Structure 1
Amino acid sequence: MRSEHCVTRNHIAVWHDRALPSGPEPIGFRTVLRGSLLPVLVWTGVACFTYVVFDPVVTMVLGGLFTLSFGVAFGLRRRATHSVRCSAYGALGGVLDKSMAGF
C-alpha cells in the first residue's frame, strides 16, 4: 500500500463526517481523537467509576483488555501492509468504535 493513501478517510471510516475532512486526505492524531471523543469520555468515566467503587485492580483489568484489543487490531493492520501510523490510528479508532457498539 502506498504511504500517501494510508491514514485516509478510505481506511479509517469509523468517525462521524463532521470530524473528518470531506475527501481522502491524510488526517492527524487530533482529528482521530476529536472524532472518537464520545468513546474516550465514556471509557474514562467507566475507569474512574470502577477505580472509586470497586478496586484499582478492576481498572487495571479493563486497561489490559483495551491494550490487548489495541495490540491485536494493530497487528492485523500491520499484516495487511498498512503503515505504522495508519495501523495505530486505525486500531485506536476501531477499538473505540467496536467498544461502543453496545451503547
Structure 2
Amino acid sequence: MRPENCATRNHIEVWHGRVLPSGPEQVGFGTVLLGSLLPILVWAGVACFVCFVYSPVVAMALGGLFVLSFVVGFGLRRRAGHSVRCSVHGALGGVLDKSMAGF
C-alpha cells in the first residue's frame, strides 16, 4: 500500500463520523481519540464498575481482552500492508468501534 493512501478515512473507522475530515486525508491520533470518546468512556466505566464490585483481577482481565483485541487488529493490518502508524490508529479505532456495535 502506498504511504500517501494509508491513514485515511477509508482505513480508519472512528465512532463519530462528524469529527472526520471532509475528504480522504490523514487522520491524526487525536482525531481517532476524539471520535472515540463514547467507547473510551464506556470501557473505562465498565472497568471501574467491575473493579469495585468484583475485584481488580477481573478488571485486569477486561483490560487484557482490550489489549488482545488491539494486538490482533494491529497484526491483521500490518499483514495487509498498512504502515505502523495506520495500523495503530486503525486497530484502536477498530477495537473501540466494534466494542460498541450493540449500542
TM-score with structure 2 length normalisation? 0.95
Alignment partner, residue 62 of structure 1: 62
Please list the CA deviations of residues 22-45 of structure 1 after superposition, one character each: whole Å capped at 9, or x if unmatched: 001011111000001100000100
Query: How far apart in 2 are the matches of 1:71 and 1:58?
Result: 20
Q: Which residue of 2 aligns with 1:85?
A: 85
Q: Which amino acid aligns with 2:26?
A: P
Q: Which runs of 4+ in 1 moved over 4 A?
A: none
Q: What one-letter code is carried by the residue in structure 1 that aligns with 2:6?
A: C
CA distance in 2, matches of 1:37, 1:88: 17
Residue in 1 that maps onto 2:37: 37
Q: TM-score scaled by structure 1?
A: 0.95
Cα contact 2:7–2:26 (8 A) shared by 1: yes
Give ranges in structure 1 of 5+ residues lacking alignment.
none
Q: What residue is the counterpart of 2:15 in the other structure?
A: 15
* Aligned-residue identity in percent: 76
The 3 A distance-change label for structure 1 pair 102 and 15 is: closer
Cα RMSD, aligned residues only: 0.9
Q: How many residues align?
A: 103
Q: In 1, Cα distance between the equivalents of 2:83 and 2:29?
A: 15
The answer for unaligned runs of 5 or more in structure 2 is: none
Q: RCO greater where, 1 or 2, for CA within 8 Å and sep 6 or more?
A: 2
